[in-house]
Amino acid sequence: MKTQNINLKEITIYSVMNDICVKGTAFQNNLSYETAFMINSTQLNMIINQLQATNEEVEVAAQFQQYPDDQGNSFYSLNLAALNCTNLAFESFLLDRQLRQIRA
């Protein structure tokens, strides 16, 4: 299988459930598709570290915005449009676990 890349668009963290959702456009060969998938906190750290290395002029972790929900809980969103480089290889953060993708 050839390397599959993703151009990240958004990362959302639901603090109550410890769910982290990543959205973006996946590319493999001549195919591209919108996707969303769940990751764990270790994978989130790996992604933030890679984004920080390729976007040195911006503090990536400081770009998270906090939003309250109706029950008084919070969720956090990182809109990656402000970053110059958001393209990563899936293999760089998968950690030998099955990826649960939702293709749109």
Predicted pLDDT of residue 70? 87
**Hey, where are the domains in the chain?**
5-103
Closest CA to 102 of 42, 30, 46, 24: 24
Residue 97 has pLDDT above 80, yes or no: no
Say what the pLDDT of residue 8 is: 95
| pLDDT given for residue 2 in this prediction | 57
Please tell me the predicted confidence (pLDDT) of residue 28. 86
pLDDT for residue 101 is more than 60: no
The two tokens of residue 76 are 């956090």
Answer yes or no: pTM beyond 0.75.
Answer: yes
- pLDDT at residue 73, as a whole number: 87
Q: In degrees rounded to 5, what are phi and psi of residue 86?
A: -125, 15
pLDDT at 77: 95
How far does the chain reach from its first CA to its final CA, in angstroms?
22
Taking only the tens place, the pLDDT of each residue in 15-39 is: 887 789 999 999 988 899 999 989 9
The pLDDT of residue 79? 86
For residue 9, pLDDT beyond 90: yes
CB 8 within 8 A of CB 80: yes
